[in-house]
Structure 1
Amino acid sequence: MNANIPESDWRRFKEVHAKLLERYCDRILEEVAAASRNTKGTAHERYLKVYKLIKERDKQLANAFDDFRRSTAVLQLGIMRRMKLLTDEELGLFSEQTRIHVEAIASL
């Protein structure tokens, strides 16, 4: 896969990156809130469940968001698409070439 992303797509990526990060963090916080409200099990068991959830989601967050470089933008977009963070409308902002690569990565 060509690691280069057109300049216009790189600019769009920089615009949506923060928005998608916020969307993912909101999703995680909703999961944590639901897990902590669950009354099944002891408080310690619920705490361990929340801890495990945050640990897992932090790995996913790092995988999708931490390597913010032009050379990794298409890969990150593909990961974000697979995570159902990047909407059809947002994907439509990118060039056809980038969309094809993003969808290919997301389908892996």
Structure 2
Amino acid sequence: MFSITTIFSQTYRILIGSGAALLLSSVMMTSANAADIATTYNNSCAACHDSGALNAIKKGDSAKWQQLMKQKSMPALINSVKSGMTQMPAGGLCSSCSDEDYRKLIEYMSK
């Protein structure tokens, strides 16, 4: 027969193990997401930001990106991407991007 202490102890171990597994999978997903930013850039942003088409700031033009970030702020840039601009469709061709994805994409392009 199991005592309450034994049952509690086993339940506690299961919960701790589950929490550790959840934390580990979260970390792994974050690493995978970081690798996906380059892919997302290539699929959604590169058409204009690689060539500068439609006056898009080119990827890697750090001076222009830093100037833009200083003028507008990151939250305003993210809102601009989400809303679209004259030369850029709303969402910047990424219909599944979150605000965090847009932030990472802007940072990626600015390097």
Q: Would you call these one fold, judging by a TM-score over 0.5?
A: no
The structure with more radius of gyration: 2
Q: TM-score with structure 2 length normalisation? A: 0.31
What TM-score comes out, normalization by structure 1 length? 0.32
Higher relative contact order (CA 8 A, sep 6+): 1
